[in-house]
Amino acid sequence: AQKVTQAQTEISVVEKEDVTLDCVYETRDTTYYLFWYKQPPSGELVFLIRRNSFDEQNEISGRYSWNFQKSTSSFNFTITASQVVDSAVYFCALSEAGDDKIIFGKGTRLHILP
Q: Which residue ranges make up the site for other proteins (CB under 8 A)?
A: 4, 33, 35, 37, 42-47, 50, 91, 93, 95, 97-98, 100-102, 104-107
Minimum gap (Å) between residue 5 Cβ and other proteins: 11
Quote the least distance from Cβ 68 to other proteins, whole Å.
15
Cβ 81 to other proteins shortest distance, Å: 27
- Rounded Cα distance between 18 and 28, Å, is 33
- 53-61, long-range: CB < 8 A, 24+ apart: 53/29
